[in-house]
Chain A
Amino acid sequence: MNTSILQRNNVRILGEGPPIVFAHGFGCDQTMWRFVYPAFSKHYQVVLFDYVGAGGSDVTAYNLQRYSTLDGYAQDILDVLEALNLREVVFVGHSVSGMTGMLASLKRPDRFSRIIMVGPSPCYLNKPGYEGGFDDSDITDLLETMDANYMGWANYMGPAVMGRPDRPELNEELTNSFCSTDPVIARQFAEITFRSDNRADLSRMNTPSLILQCQSDIVAPLSVGEYLRDNMPLSTLRVMDATGHCPHLSSPDETITLIQEYLRSPPIN
């Protein structure tokens, strides 16, 4: 077992049984799953982790190049699965982790049995003939909002983009909230998340997947869920009663029930 990877990604393992991996999305960390994973730790080996740069991960392992595309994040997933020597896992990914999980499974299909995507989107931006929900100006506004929220840390930021000097005092400051992270990392994650376009990869998907689609989710509207269902082989779409983008927080019971129902259903081939 590769303990350095487990430390790097702040991996936590609970329970015994077939493996189920929960991956957080943009914003925050594995804490987001706290209302959901206890329901699985009786019958599954629950694996929780933080992407490098988020939560309790080793921020010094962050590499601007590696994490400049979702492939770098997908590699985090594959690194964790390899370190634990896990195959055929059930993978549950929130938000952008739906696509990150898909990218990981395209590279190593043997590591995944089923992928559950909570509020996924293959492309957040509107494109000709495709309604992603956002224009480029919305993403610029979001990055501004994030900048404004890191205003208090402006002194620390300086020319951080030119390289990452070790800033332990910053880390201390940031541990106040589980949603806090290094502003440079958070900004880059936001940018690659909301400017990503993985529509061309969907047709190659050969791991069965469940799309959990919230009603009136601004981040991933219903039309996006339907687009995924229509373009991703072996996918099942379930529209939830829950609203918003975080059903695992706002409606954990419904989220748990739908995941369990899906895992009980026979696999589609």
Chain B
Amino acid sequence: MSEMQTEGYIQRTPWLLFSFDDQSNFLSLNKAVSDLIGEPESALIGTSMASILTKAGQIFFQTHFFPIIKIDGKVDEVFLLLRNSGGEPLPVLAYGIRFEHNGSWVNECYCAPIPQRRKFEQELIQARKDAEDVLRQNKALNEAKQALEDNRAELDRRIQQLERANNELGQIAKVVSHDLREPIRKIAILTDFIRSNPEPFAEENRPMFDQINRICQSISRLITGLRDFIALDTTAQAFAPVQLETLIRNAALEATETNLFATDTDWLLASHVPDVLGYAPQLHLLFYHLFDNAIRFRRTDVPLRVQLTAEVIKENKFVAVEETYQYTDHLRIRVRDNGKGFPARYRSDVFLLLKRLDKTTPTLGLGLAICRKIMGNHYGTITADSQPGEGTTFTILLPLGT
């Protein structure tokens, strides 16, 4: 075939033939292309080929066609939407190859218009979609799906509750078998000792009676604390709106007033904390204990600084059920202090019932266990991050809108 004949083919063919550079500007084009846009070839060379694509066509060209031709060197059988000067779409099947010519890269594209085939295709796709829609829109199915979804969310909460309850039972069992048994054993030893003396009420036995008395008081405190902890179960009540910002300030005030070493505390409490649904008295107790904890474990050589920040983030609302996702708004509050801190390996131990890392501080070890239980009652979580000497950060995550 002579070159003239070839040129004739190129100009007469209904196929759109054109080439473009990596910046998507026309390098050459045939008559079919200039007819489509209604501009002569000379006016189009060097201009952006975006002019022959619909907006959707441009997105697909930029995100699929161009990456494939650039990396694979060719593209086969890609559907594209071109458009004419009047904005009417023209569906085409496009092929492309890429080669180097005189030191620069050329992308050559061949587009066969397929308006008729496209109609059949659309009918086929529509038929498939209709079939899918019938399935999807099946009302009974949808309702069942919704019920299942609700059940799953409920199940997730129940599992969380059960896991927590189970965990607490284990802890309470430990308290009964160890923390309560130990002082009782001490009393038994002391009474044995007292009885072994022929004169049980002799003056020399007096310190032992005092000790028995102190042990009894401590057992009583322990039982009261335990009762308060167990009483924090409120599954029967409904959540009510809580003005968290005011509540936090009041809790800080209370923590300052009930502690001797808190007057110089530098409180940096976030403003604009959103309102939440929950149990106000419990949330008050939660923040009171967090602040109280910061004050009790403060460093004595620097002024205490307690910072509270709050932000709304998206988290998966499913906690216990695996492979289930729904990202919903959660309130994340961080309470950071510059106190003594503790080794990172105790991050989860600190929330255990009657766990005291620092035996020299006069506490029962109930505060953080209460905090964790309260967060559980609100379907949220509490975690701690700490380093000795660098202070502690407590992070609570509270699902919003439940």
Q: Which residue of B lies closest to A142 (CB)?
A: B56
B146 interface residue (CB < 8 Å to A): no
Among listed A1-9, A14-22, A143-151, A223-231, interface-contacting one: A143-151
Enumerate chain B residues within 8 angstroms of A95, measured Cβ to Cβ.
Answer: 63
Enumerate chain A residues within 8 angstroms of B268, measured Cβ to Cβ.
Answer: none
Residues 1-36 of chain B, each 1 if its beta carbon lies under 8 Å from chain A, else 0:
000000000000000000000111100000000000
CA distance A243 to B58 in the complex (A): 13
Taking a contact as CB atoms under 8 Å apart, the answer to whether A145 and B327 are in contact is no
Given A65-B325, A103-B314, are A243 and B71 neighbors across the interface (CB < 8 Å)? no
Residues 69-113 of chain A, each 1 if its beta carbon lies under 8 Å from chain B, else 0:
101100100000000000000000001000000010011000000
Given A145-B80, A218-B50, are A66 and B56 neighbors across the interface (CB < 8 Å)? no
Given A107-B313, A216-B50, are A179 and B125 neighbors across the interface (CB < 8 Å)? no
Enumerate chain B residues within 8 angstroms of A75, measured Cβ to Cβ.
Answer: 316
- Find residues 320-372 in chain B having any chain A CB closer than 8 Å to their own CB: 323-327
Taking a contact as CB atoms under 8 Å apart, the answer to whether B67 and A144 are in contact is no
**Partner among B124, B135, B326 whose Cβ is within 8 Å of the Cβ of A65:** B326
Q: Which residue of B lies closest to A135 (CB)?
A: B55
Given A145-B56, A161-B132, are A250 and B66 neighbors across the interface (CB < 8 Å)? yes
Enumerate chain A residues within 8 angstroms of B314, measured Cβ to Cβ.
Answer: 69, 71, 103, 107
**Partner among B22, B57, B68 whose Cβ is within 8 Å of the Cβ of A177:** B68
B305 interface residue (CB < 8 Å to A): no
Q: Which residue of B lies closest to A75 (CB)?
A: B316
**Partner among A148, A204, A244 whose Cβ is within 8 Å of the Cβ of B311:** A204
B64 interface residue (CB < 8 Å to A): yes
- Find residues 134-178 in chain A having any chain B CB closer than 8 Å to their own CB: 134, 138-139, 141-142, 144-149, 151-152, 154, 157-159, 161-162, 177-178
Task: For the complex formed, measure the closest distance between the CB of B393 and the CB atoms of chain A, giving whole angstroms.
Answer: 11
A120 interface residue (CB < 8 Å to B): no
Taking a contact as CB atoms under 8 Å apart, the answer to whether A249 and B60 are in contact is no
A59 interface residue (CB < 8 Å to B): no
Taking a contact as CB atoms under 8 Å apart, the answer to whether A244 and B132 are in contact is no
CA distance A110 to B203 in the complex (A): 65
B48 interface residue (CB < 8 Å to A): yes
Residues 98-133 of chain B, each 1 if its beta carbon lies under 8 Å from chain A, else 0:
000000000000000000001001101100100110
B59 interface residue (CB < 8 Å to A): yes
Taking a contact as CB atoms under 8 Å apart, the answer to whether A179 and B121 are in contact is no
- Find residues 205-223 in chain A having any chain B CB closer than 8 Å to their own CB: 216-219
B243 interface residue (CB < 8 Å to A): no
Q: Which residue of B lies closest to A149 (CB)?
A: B79
Enumerate chain B residues within 8 angstroms of A145, measured Cβ to Cβ.
Answer: 56-57, 60, 79-81
Task: For the complex formed, measure the closest distance between the CB of B52 and the CB atoms of chain A, giving whole angstroms.
Answer: 13
Task: For the complex formed, measure the closest distance between the CB of A146 and the CB atoms of chain B, giving whole angstroms.
Answer: 7
Taking a contact as CB atoms under 8 Å apart, the answer to whether B60 and A216 are in contact is no
Q: How many residues of A contact B (CB 8 A)?
A: 55
CA distance A25 to B311 in the complex (A): 28
Enumerate chain A residues within 8 angstroms of B24, measured Cβ to Cβ.
Answer: 243-244, 250
Q: Which residue of A lies closest to B23 (CB)?
A: A243
Enumerate chain B residues within 8 angstroms of A69, measured Cβ to Cβ.
Answer: 314, 327
Given A107-B314, A218-B55, A243-B48, are A151 and B71 neighbors across the interface (CB < 8 Å)? no
Q: How many residues of B contact A (CB 8 A)?
A: 49
Taking a contact as CB atoms under 8 Å apart, the answer to whether A249 and B70 are in contact is yes
Taking a contact as CB atoms under 8 Å apart, the answer to whether A179 and B23 are in contact is no
A251 interface residue (CB < 8 Å to B): yes
Task: For the complex formed, measure the closest distance between the CB of A122 and the CB atoms of chain B, giving whole angstroms.
Answer: 15
Q: Which residue of B lies closest to A34 (CB)?
A: B71
**Partner among B55, B63, B77, B327 whose Cβ is within 8 Å of the Cβ of A245:** B63
CA distance A158 to B325 in the complex (A): 25
CA distance A75 to B125 in the complex (A): 33
Taking a contact as CB atoms under 8 Å apart, the answer to whether A244 and B56 are in contact is no
**Partner among B23, B56, B71, B327 whose Cβ is within 8 Å of the Cβ of A72:** B327
Taking a contact as CB atoms under 8 Å apart, the answer to whether B23 and A244 are in contact is yes
Taking a contact as CB atoms under 8 Å apart, the answer to whether B324 and A134 are in contact is no
CA distance A242 to B125 in the complex (A): 37
Enumerate chain B residues within 8 angstroms of A158, measured Cβ to Cβ.
Answer: 128
Taking a contact as CB atoms under 8 Å apart, the answer to whether A151 and B62 are in contact is no
Taking a contact as CB atoms under 8 Å apart, the answer to whether A178 and B313 are in contact is no
CA distance A54 to B354 in the complex (A): 50
Task: For the complex formed, measure the closest distance between the CB of B78 and the CB atoms of chain A, giving whole angstroms.
Answer: 6
- Find residues 232-251 in chain A having any chain B CB closer than 8 Å to their own CB: 242-246, 249-251
Taking a contact as CB atoms under 8 Å apart, the answer to whether B327 and A250 are in contact is no
B195 interface residue (CB < 8 Å to A): no
B174 interface residue (CB < 8 Å to A): no
Taking a contact as CB atoms under 8 Å apart, the answer to whether B64 and A134 are in contact is no
Q: Which residue of A lies closest to B131 (CB)?
A: A159
A31 interface residue (CB < 8 Å to B): yes
Taking a contact as CB atoms under 8 Å apart, the answer to whether A246 and B67 are in contact is yes
Taking a contact as CB atoms under 8 Å apart, the answer to whether B68 and A216 are in contact is no
Q: List 24 A-B contacts (CB under 8 A).
A: A28-B63, A63-B323, A66-B325, A69-B314, A69-B327, A103-B314, A107-B314, A107-B315, A138-B55, A138-B59, A141-B56, A141-B57, A145-B57, A148-B118, A149-B78, A149-B79, A162-B135, A219-B58, A243-B25, A244-B66, A245-B59, A249-B70, A249-B71, A251-B23
10 closest A-B pairs by beta carbon, nearest first, are A27-B63, A141-B56, A245-B62, A66-B325, A71-B327, A148-B79, A142-B56, A218-B58, A138-B55, A250-B22
Seed contacts A27-B64, A218-B62; 19 additional CB < 8 Å A-B pairs: A66-B316, A103-B314, A107-B314, A138-B59, A141-B81, A145-B56, A148-B118, A148-B121, A148-B125, A161-B135, A162-B135, A217-B62, A219-B59, A243-B24, A245-B62, A246-B62, A246-B66, A246-B67, A246-B70
